Chains A and B, each alone.
Chain A
């Protein structure tokens, strides 16, 4: 099995050089005192100039968090995290919310330029070749460590009635909206990391689409962790009012560092009657080196509430980064006839550990959900799909279709599938399909005999494997995701 040998050798040789977003921006920062305490939470809240109720909301979460235990059920292992050895807030020094791009620190602008993120409104994502005139506009909110440094296309969106701004700004400008929805999908009691997030979250994006409005462009948030020993705790809240539509994308990267960094975000989506939210993630946090040193712990709670009738929430994720991924973007299908979708590509290489999946909670009548998950494991990584599909007693006519495919590259990686299915209503129909396969030497040889290099052959086979999911991404991101997939498997075989 010479090619498998090669593959294994090549996977071994993968090192941090392949992570091309690993640079660090040299910028002075201002941090909260190290560690977690009521004082630190008051410090963050004061920095943000928050109303009293917000501070109380945080402190309430903090006191709950102190009584909670870190979850241990996921198939991941890591040394205990010392929560007192972290910085919970970091912002570029002399930072004040910029009014226009000209006011943004040039070092930060350069950072995003290097990352290929368009902060100038005429630009689009780097590496995507689309002829002038056909270029879709993409509004970007750029979050650098704990603060939002720039938000583009604000005026054009405002004209359409769309609110897209940092959540800290929304707290000042639209306090009632924020108060009404914040924490209504992921409550303070939800889980260890979400509760921590509620206590210390720093920034994130806020989106509100008014009734009947189809958001005129893609919205996106780009998260960058730069500062050492700093956790990123952002909170995103998206509300699609009746009959509205929005497509939203988030991207993430971080410098290469020897120590692990914590990212514990919360994303809440609310879809009212007949509204639709499409949420796509391209997650490429630093995964650590070949021996598993460094990398981001990505412990994220994402949940969408299909609150209205016939509402729809769709999660699409391409996960290639992070040392450890622990996330289960979920849908609560409350409204009658609402539907949830989860499309996922999770790639693990080196020593990455992924425990990810989704929850589809059917509460309303005639609710439908669809799960397509493609896991690809290479190197010495472990990749677990964990998913819950449940139908409440009143969820008559609930339907789910689940398809979980795993692809193994080499002999030292693992793929695991842990589905939970609960149906309390006899009319619920759940289907579950799962396959696990190994990338076949014969298939690679066939491609190579036709002229493809080994790397191209693997990329081709893998892209074929994930095609169903790639098709769900907005076109311009599909191109980016496809490249990312090739890069993250480089050397592993492809």
Chain B
């Protein structure tokens, strides 16, 4: 089975500045859920931005293959159309644009890029409403401008809705549990778990083990100073919770 994502000796820095990713290697096969854990400032969020193509980062070495394609050559929207989804830690607000209109534009932009038939409004509305129900997203929330005035929980549920609708191959979840109370965490995790399938993989970036009780990973990596310094099974997360990251930080240094 060909890997879904292969990161080989990746080096990246903030444009004109500090080096953040420092010789990282990672292979994710279809259907696997990988967790990346590490201390603040280890470069975890940067990793998610580099993978999704956010401007402002410079790749100084290595390569990333996604579904056999050189990911680093693609623009962010092309990566999205290839099936790369980033669940934002802090979703952006877009005043004046209704949530439903945004979803419609997003879905059809991707379908168009892939040469697929675009969804009609009624098809999309039906689909969005069904998915929304499972996440507790009502018609009012779909009418409101994207994320404007949403609570932390509403924003994360909205991210999950987008993810479910766009059906990506790789879901990168950046601190998906930040700002969530335990009930919202369950709703979001249920959404994510419903998406698990033999073709779809997840990269769960998190500080805390708590999220991994709900989204159970196949592999756990310790990320420190811009690369993976240790990997193990799901029990590694519990171990880290008890011992902290200090020993691995020393290892990296």
Contact = CB atoms under 8 A, between A and B. Distances in A.
A443 B88 CA distance: 12
A468 B52 contact: no
Interface string A452-494: 1110100011011111100000000000000000000000000
Contact of B55 (A1, A464, A467): A1
Nearest to B96: A464
B125 interface: no
A363 B94 CA distance: 40
B244 interface: no
A264 B198 CA distance: 68
A463 B96 contact: yes
A452 B105 contact: yes
Contacts of B94: 443, 446-447, 460-461, 464
Interface stretch (B72-80, B126-134, B184-192, B205-213): B72-80
B91 to A, nearest CB: 7
B109 interface: yes
B113 interface: yes
B137 to A, nearest CB: 16
Interface residues of B, number: 32
A450 B96 contact: no
Nearest to B145: A464
Nearest to B15: A2
B166 interface: yes
Contact of A2 (B55, B97, B102): B55
Contacts of A468: 96
Contacts of B86: 449
Given A443-B92, A464-B97, A2 B77 contact: no
- Max count, chain A CB within 10 A of own CB: residue among B75, B76, B94: B76
A465 B77 contact: no
A13 B166 CA distance: 34
A71 interface: no
B95 interface: yes
Nearest to A405: B95
Given A460-B94, A461-B94, A451 B55 contact: no
A461 B147 CA distance: 13
A460 B97 contact: yes
Contact of B106 (A443, A450, A463, A465): A450
Nearest to B95: A464
Nearest to B106: A450
A290 interface: no
Interface string B111-150: 0010000000000000000000000000000000100000
Interface residues of A, number: 27
Contacts of B109: 450-453, 456
B97 A461 contact: yes
A448 interface: yes
Contacts of B92: 440, 442-443, 446
A456 B105 contact: yes
A459 B109 CA distance: 13
A153 interface: no
Contacts of A447: 94, 102, 106
Interface string A242-274: 000000000000000000000000000000000
B77 A452 contact: yes
B96 A451 contact: no
Interface string A279-300: 0000000000000000000000
Nearest to A470: B96
B162 A450 contact: yes
B107 interface: yes
B160 interface: no
Contacts of B53: 448-449
B54 interface: yes
A448 B109 CA distance: 10
Nearest to A1: B56
B77 A448 contact: yes
Nearest to A465: B96
B208 to A, nearest CB: 24
B97 A463 contact: yes
A467 B96 contact: yes
Contacts of A463: 96-97
B110 interface: yes
A445 interface: yes
Looking at B79, B93, B97, the one whose CB has the most chain A CB atoms below 10 A away is B97
Contacts of B166: 450-451
B228 interface: no
B81 interface: yes
B75 to A, nearest CB: 7
Contact of B110 (A442, A443, A451, A464): A451
Contact of B80 (A442, A450, A464): A450
B56 A2 contact: yes
A450 B145 CA distance: 16
A494 to B, nearest CB: 13
A3 interface: yes
A451 B97 contact: no
Given A441-B55, A464-B95, A451 B102 contact: no
A449 B95 contact: no
Contacts of B102: 447, 450, 460
Nearest to A448: B76
Contacts of B110: 450-451
Given A450-B80, A460-B94, 9 more contacts: A2-B56, A6-B55, A442-B92, A448-B77, A449-B88, A452-B77, A452-B106, A460-B97, A466-B96
Q: Which 10 A-B pairs have the closest CB atoms?
A: A464-B96, A2-B55, A451-B110, A464-B97, A450-B106, A467-B96, A446-B92, A448-B76, A451-B109, A3-B55
15 contacts: A2-B55, A442-B92, A447-B106, A448-B75, A448-B77, A449-B79, A450-B80, A450-B110, A451-B81, A451-B106, A452-B77, A452-B106, A454-B77, A460-B102, A460-B105
